[in-house]
C-alpha cells in the first residue's frame, strides 16, 4: 500500500463488525507502534489490551464515548512520564507517534481504528487498569473490522493556509477571551471528577453533548 494513500484515506472508524480481531493482527499492530520514533530513543511505551467485559464496563461507566463499548478491541497506549523535557512533553509526543503508526498499520490490514481521549479521569483509569504513577495513559485506540467506512475527509485549509516561512505569518484570528472555551473547560473539569453513579444519572445529557461524527 502506498504510504500517501494510507495517510490520506485512513479515517476514524467508530462502528465495527461483531467479530474479534485475530491475535496475530493485534501483535502486528502493536509492533508497528513499537517501531515509532521516540524522544531520546527511550521506547518507553506500554500497551494494554482490554478484552474483559468487566473492565470495559468499569471504563464505560466513566465516559460518554459510548461507541467504545461495541469495539471488539481496546488498546490503551501508555508512556512513561519520567521525562526531563516537560516543556515539550516529549513522552506524549512519543506515544502519539506510536498511535499513528498503529492506526496506519490497522488501516493497511483492513481494520478500522479510532483514537479516543474522552476517557475517565487519569486517576480513575489508573485504578481500573492498575497503571503505576510513572506511566501516563495517553489514549485509547479502539479497533475492529469496520462496519461502515467513512469516505476521505477534506482538509479545512489548503497547504498554503498552514505553511509559512521563517516566522508565523498568518493572520492571527485569536478571539481574545474565549468564554465558550472557558465554560467548556470548566464543564469538562467537573464532569471528569463526578462519581460514576452521578455520571450514570447524567447519561442522557452527556449523550446529547458527545460530539457526533459521521457514522
Ligand X SMILES: Cc1cc2nc3c(=O)[nH]c(=O)nc-3n(C[C@H](O)[C@H](O)[C@H](O)COP(=O)(O)O)c2cc1C
Query: Smaller CB distance to ligand X: residue 153 or 183?
Result: 153
x/- site string to ligand X, residues 138 to 157, per CB under 6 A?
Answer: -x-------------x----
Q: Which residues, 6 or more positions from 135, have their beta carbon under 8 angstroms from its beta carbon?
A: 46, 78, 79, 80, 81
- Pick from 59, 65, 125, 141 the residue near ligand X by CB under 6 A: 65
For 75, 90, 202, the CA distances from 207, given in Å and listed in that order, are: 23, 33, 9
Smallest CA-to-CA distance from 119 within 78, 65, 178, 80 is with: 65
Q: Which is nearer to ligand X, 74 or 116 (CB)?
A: 116
Report 81-120 residues binding ligand X (CB under 6 A): 114-118
Compute the CA torsion angle 37, 38, 43, 45 (nearest 10 deg). -100
Q: Radius of gyration of the chain from Cα atoms?
A: 19
Question: Among residues 75 and 116, whose Cβ is nearest to ligand X?
Answer: 116
Task: Give the binding range for ligand X (CB under 6 A) out of 7-15, 43-51, 170-178, 193-201.
Answer: 7-15
Rank residues 11 and 124 by Cβ distance to ligand X and give the closer one: 11
Residues 13-32 that bind ligand X (CB under 6 A): 14
Tell me the three state secondary structure of residue 174: coil
Q: Is 74 in the site for ligand X (CB under 6 A)?
A: no
Q: Quick one: cell of 194? A: 463526578
Residues that bind ligand X (CB under 6 A): 11-12, 14, 65, 114-118, 139, 153, 213
Amino acid at each position: 500500500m502506498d504510504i500517501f494513500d494510507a495517510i490520506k484515506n485512513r479515517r476514524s472508524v467508530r462502528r465495527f463488525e461483531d467479530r474479534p480481531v485475530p491475535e496475530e493482527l493485534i501483535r502486528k499492530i502493536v509492533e508497528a507502534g513499537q517501531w515509532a520514533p521516540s524522544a531520546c530513543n527511550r521506547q518507553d511505551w506500554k500497551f494494554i489490551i482490554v478484552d474483559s467485559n468487566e473492565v470495559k464496563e468499569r471504563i464505560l461507566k466513566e465516559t460518554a464515548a459510548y461507541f467504545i463499548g461495541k469495539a471488539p478491541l481496546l488498546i490503551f497506549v501508555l508512556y512513561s512520564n519520567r521525562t526531563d523535557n516537560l516543556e515539550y512533553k516529549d513522552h506524549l509526543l512519543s506515544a502519539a507517534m506510536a498511535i499513528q503508526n498503529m492506526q496506519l498499520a490497522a488501516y493497511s490490514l483492513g481494520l478500522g481504528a479510532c483514537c479516543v481521549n474522552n476517557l475517565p479521569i487519569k486517576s480513575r483509569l489508573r485504578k481500573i487498569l492498575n497503571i503505576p504513577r510513572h506511566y501516563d495513559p495517553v489514549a485509547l485506540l479502539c479497533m475492529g473490522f469496520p462496519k461502515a467506512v467513512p469516505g476521505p475527509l477534506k482538509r479545512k485549509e489548503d497547504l498554503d493556509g498552514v505553511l509559512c516561512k521563517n516566522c508565523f505569518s498568518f493572520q492571527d484570528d485569536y478571539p481574545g477571551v474565549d468564554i465558550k472555551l472557558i465554560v467548556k473547560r470548566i464543564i469538562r473539569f467537573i464532569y471528569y471528577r463526578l462519581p460514576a453513579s452521578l455520571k450514570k444519572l447524567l447519561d442522557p445529557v452527556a449523550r446529547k453533548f458527545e460530539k457526533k461524527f459521521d457514522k
